[in-house]
């Protein structure tokens, strides 16, 4: 796969994931403060040790009857984001003068990562998650404002 295309996919996945995480941060803040508290979000939720898994667990605790399928979707987009963020080391294979680079899947070393498939899956799942999370934020009294 073309390196420029992977780079484009990588930036889109990471930026979209940041958006999902921002909505989760907003839900958590709205739940505990009845408003979006920027000091809380930036000083606590954006601390480098406050990871996504912990945010997801808090979300599960504060959202009554959270859709288990959406929890699985959150786990999946996090996994895909991690592939894009951390897996891009080409392993060079050479056999009979044919040399090619592949990105090996760290979970299954006999497979390579298909970034095209992961990108499409992420984009499909992300839209539903953003909508689901935005609705939770609104149910908790949050107000969504479209960006400029």
- Collect contacts of 117-124 with beta carbons under 8 A, ≥24 apart: 118/13, 118/80, 118/83, 118/84, 119/9, 119/12, 119/13, 119/84, 121/76, 121/80, 122/13, 122/16, 122/77, 122/80, 122/81, 123/12, 123/16
pLDDT, tens digit, 9 for 90 and up, residues 62-97: 999 999 999 999 999 999 998 887 666 554 455 654
pLDDT the model gives residue 69: 96
pLDDT tens, N- to C-terminus, the chain (148 residues): 677 888 899 899 999 999 999 999 999 999 999 999 999 999 999 999 999 999 999 999 999 999 999 999 999 999 999 888 766 655 445 565 444 555 655 566 566 667 888 999 999 999 999 999 999 999 999 998 876 4
Domain-by-domain residue ranges, the chain?
Answer: 3-84+113-139
Q: What is the pLDDT of residue 56?
A: 97
């Amino acid at each position: 796969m073309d390196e420029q295309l992977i780079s484009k996919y990588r930036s889109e996945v990471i930026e979209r994931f940041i958006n999902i995480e921002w909505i989760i941060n907003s839900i958590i803040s709205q739940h505990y403060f009845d408003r979006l508290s920027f000091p809380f979000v930036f000083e606590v939720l954006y601390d480098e040790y406050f990871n996504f898994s912990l945010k997801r667990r808090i979300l599960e605790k504060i959202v009554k009857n959270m859709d288990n399928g959406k929890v699985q979707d959150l786990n999946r987009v996090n996994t895909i984001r991690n592939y894009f963020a951390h897996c891009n080391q080409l392993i060079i294979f050479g056999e009979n003068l044919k040399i090619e680079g592949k990105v090996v899947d760290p979970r299954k070393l006999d497979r390579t990562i298909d970034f095209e498939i992961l990108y499409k899956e992420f984009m499909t799942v992300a839209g539903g998650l953003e909508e689901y999370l935005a609705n939770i934020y609104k149910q908790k009294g949050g107000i969504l404002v479209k960006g400029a």
